[in-house]
Structure 1
């Protein structure tokens, strides 16, 4: 499957997204933190409400 146009590693370069600025990295870090915190908050709220409903219908259980 020799389909690559590169024939050697000479002159190979790497491109790093947001390498020159911490703003992009900071933004995505903030997005990740908000998503994780939001998921934990939503799951906790859902479980508390579901348990309260279950506890009303099963007072001895």
Structure 2
């Protein structure tokens, strides 16, 4: 894994802000984009529940 430089971080911020802007202008706040190296998925959270009671220390 490569270390992130200041230039890499700026490129990352610029790239993801374009997607964040798209989501804000076209979808509701419960919509997310999952991106990896060969695909992008637009997903919607219909119901969520979070708990930490099963996480081991």
TM-score by length of 2: 0.38
From the two aligned structures, give the one with the greater strand fraction.
2
* Structure of greater relative contact order (alpha carbons < 8 Å, 6+ residues apart): 2
The structure with the largest alpha-carbon Rg is: 1
From the two aligned structures, give the one with the greater helix fraction.
1
TM-score by length of 1: 0.36
